[in-house]
Amino acid sequence: MTEMLRSEGLKRVRMRLITAVVFVFTLTCSGSFGMEDVISSSGPGLTLLMILFLPLVWSVPMAFVASELGSMVPEAGGLYRWIRRGMGEYWSFQAGWWWTLSLYVDSAVYVALALDYMEAKWGFSGGTRALIGVAIIAVFTFINIRGLDLTGWSLTIIQIGVMVPLVIFTVWGIAVGSGNPFSPILPEGESFLGSMQLGLAIMMWMYSGWESISTLAGEIENPQKVIPKALMIGTPLVIATYFFSVWAAIRVAGIDGPDNWMNMWTGGGGVDFVEAAQMIGGGVLAYLMLMSAILSNIGLYAGYLATGARPQFQMSRDRLLPKFLGLTHKSWGTPWAAILLMAVVNGVLINFNFSALITIDVFLLMFPYVLIFLTALILRVREPDAPRSFRVPMPTWLLGVWVAFPIAIAVIALFVNGTDWMIGGLAGVLTGPIAYLVFKNIYKGTTDEALEGSVVTPAGELTEFGVAVEGGGA
């Protein structure tokens, strides 16, 4: 234990399975807000079919691969350390850099969305908006620095607040709504591929985030067992949440006419979940649903502030980013400097129009996804006998065929979001090599043998640190 604290500085908490599931649910779903746009773009039938079948070739492969890699390399920084083990320092830096950069922008988006919901309801001034935004960020920064225990509790309370109104709406909506939710399958006059393309980008977004919890592995006891279990439970939970709530929303929209699904969108003026709740439950249910939407985005922020800070922390500990990012809190054992930096950037971003920055997101997330899938295959071939408490139940060649689908979808996603996303993404990708060249020359990096927080050696043996962790010393 002394060695563990000395060598890493992170405090490991005993995370219950239910809390880990809440983390997974928050990072990958947190309610169904945003699905409204898919319904009007792709048609109600295709939306429901995509909710059911897209996971088979997009999020389930990632959940399985993340489980296998997380059980094999259960280290702080998650995906960054997996890719280091499989593809070396250069590509792991690229993945860690792109992923972190993307989350700096992404997490600010969730605060901005929560503020948008509040502003639409209560109509406050720009100054008040900024104050509320900074207050939200400050509260969850403290909670995150205080530790995963408190973060887990906060997320649990938030998800209760998100799900109770959503479940009431779903049951009520399915019961009193009108029409066949699968009809029509496609918008009139649209081809199957054309309809799918319109909603695919949003749907991929809604089904992302399965790799995120892995970044917390350095602060959870037995992460190689807890995280895969949480991912396996979380996957059907997320699919069911999307499917039934969207089913209900389509039926509720149908009360005002069979074509009313065409008016479903977010951002004001359309039939979103709040408006649909108003239609069946009046002001009370609409108010509850509004609170659910606000909490959903706040929960996403709290979750991504936690996970987004960890790879940069580990990259700093591996001597690839400035030293201060590797600082840990002496009492609470959390990477406070990395969390604080991310929060400060978020606080600045929400006060400006950062829509141009959002355009880098798709590229910066899709490239690490591709690297994660490749890493899974490389490690299967190179280290077939390395210990994995979870193994995707299929031979390597079949796993290769399976992950070819999400890789293809990720590549397609790069081209379907429009010119601004393309340009932002192309420019964003090039920041990776530039950052590596700069930081590598300044900080040098660390040999594999001297890395901190390694639980298992490439030969499959426990490291000294691994013995301390596995031995239940915490």
Partner 1 sequence: MKGQQMANYAAIAGVLAGLAAVGGGLYARSAKPVFGIPQFFGIYSDYFSGVHVLVGVGVIMVVGGLVSFKWPSVGATIVCVAVMAGLVYTYNRGQYRWVPLVYYWWAPWLLAWIAGIFAGYAAYKNVPQSSEKLADARQAEDQSA
What is the rounded CA–CA span in Å between residue 299 and residue 63? Answer: 20
Would you say 219 or 318 has its CB closer to partner 1?
318
The yes or no reply on residue 138 touching partner 1 (CB under 8 A) is no
CB of 423 to partner 1, least distance (A): 5
Q: Supply the minimum distance, in Å, between the C-beta of residue 437 and partner 1.
A: 4
Footprint of partner 1 on 382-421 (CB under 8 A): 418-420
Exactly one of 324, 382, 426, 457 binds partner 1 (CB under 8 A); that residue is 426
SS3 assignment for 177-233: CCCCCCCCCCCCCCCHHHHHHHHHHHHHHHCCCCCHHHHHHHHECCHHHHHHHHHHH
Instruction: Please pick, from the candidates 431, 467, 470, 473, the single residue that binds partner 1 as defined by CB under 8 A.
Output: 431
In the bound state with partner 1, the residue whose beta carbon lies nearer, of 22 and 410, is 410
Binding segment for partner 1 (CB under 8 A), chosen from 126-134, 375-383, 399-407, 448-456, is 448-456
Q: Which residues pair with 220 in a beta bridge?
A: 13
Does 446 interact with partner 1 (rule: CB under 8 A)?
yes
Q: Which region holds residue 461: left if phi is over 0, alpha if psi is between -120 and 50, else beta? A: beta
| Phi/psi-derived region of residue 189, left when phi > 0, alpha when psi is between -120 and 50, beta in every other case | left
Q: Does residue 357 interact with partner 1 by CB under 8 A?
A: no
Binding residue for partner 1 (CB under 8 A) from 161, 326, 368, 466? 326
The end-to-end CA distance of the chain, in Å, is 6
The residue within the footprint of partner 1, chosen from 6, 14, 16, 382 (CB under 8 A), is: 6
In 3D space, the residue among 237, 230, 74 whose CA is nearest the CA of residue 163 turns out to be 237
Q: Is 319 in the site for partner 1 (CB under 8 A)?
A: yes
**CB closer to partner 1 out of 396 and 431:** 431
CB 348 within 8 Å of CB 107: no
Q: Which of 21, 101, 200, 429 binds partner 1 (CB under 8 A)?
A: 429
236 binds partner 1 (CB under 8 A): no
* Distance from C-alpha of 86 to C-alpha of 372, rounded to nearest angstrom: 9
**Identified binder of partner 1 from the candidate list 194, 433, 458, 471, rule CB under 8 A:** 433
List Cβ<8 Å contacts ≥24 apart for 265-270: 265/36, 265/37, 265/40, 266/33, 266/34, 266/36, 266/37, 267/116, 268/120, 270/36, 270/40
Question: How far are the Cα atoms of 29, 36, 38, 160, 235 from residue 172, in angstroms, in the given order?
Answer: 21, 18, 22, 18, 24
Question: Which residues touch 474 (CB under 8 Å, ≥6 apart)?
Answer: 1, 4, 11, 12, 221, 468
Closest CA to 260 of 252, 185, 50: 252
Q: Identify the burial level of 116 via C-beta atoms within 10 angstroms of its C-beta, where 0-12 means exposed, 13-18 middle and 19 or more buried.
A: middle
CB of 428 to partner 1, least distance (A): 9
Number of residues that bind partner 1 (CB under 8 A): 34
Q: Segment near partner 1 (CB under 8 A), from 124-132, 175-183, 387-395, 436-444?
A: 436-444
Q: Which of 257, 430, 461, 471 binds partner 1 (CB under 8 A)?
A: 430
Site track 272-291 with partner 1 (rule: CB under 8 A), x = hit = --------------------
13 forms beta bridges with 220
Nearer CB in complex with partner 1: 420/461: 420
Verify binding: residue 466, partner 1, rule CB under 8 A. Answer: no
CB of 442 to partner 1, least distance (A): 10
Rounded CA-CA distance 456/386 in Å is: 9
270 sits in which H/E element: none
For the chain, give the number of residues.
474
CA–CA separation, 404 and 389 (whole Å)? 24
Residue with smaller CB distance to partner 1, 50 or 357: 357
C-beta of 183 vs 355, nearer to partner 1: 355
Q: Candidates 184, 258, 445, 473: give the one binding partner 1 (CB under 8 A).
A: 445
Confirm if 317 and 326 have CB atoms less than 8 A apart.
Answer: yes
- What's the min distance (Å) between Cβ of 121 and partner 1? 35
8 A C-beta contact, residue 74 and residue 8 = no
Give the CA dihedral 329, 330, 332, 333, nearest 10 degrees: 70
The single residue among 180, 355, 447, 457 that binds partner 1, judged by CB under 8 A, is 447
Which residue from 452, 455, 456, 463 is in contact with partner 1, where contact means CB under 8 A?
A: 452
Q: Which of 253, 432, 466, 468 binds partner 1 (CB under 8 A)?
A: 432
Is the CB of 113 or the CB of 451 nearer to partner 1? 451
- Does residue 44 have a cis bond before it (omega within 30 degrees)? no
Output the smallest distance, CB 373 to partner 1, in A.
19
Neighbours of 382 (CB within 10 A): 11
Q: Interaction with partner 1 in 72-91: which residues (CB under 8 A)?
A: 88-90
18 vs 426 by CB, closer to partner 1: 426
What's the Rg (C-alpha) of the chain?
Answer: 22
Contact call for residue 129 and partner 1 (CB under 8 A): no
Task: Name the site residues for partner 1 (rule: CB under 8 A).
Answer: 6-8, 88-90, 317, 319, 326, 418-420, 422-423, 426-427, 429-434, 436-438, 440-441, 444-447, 449-450, 452
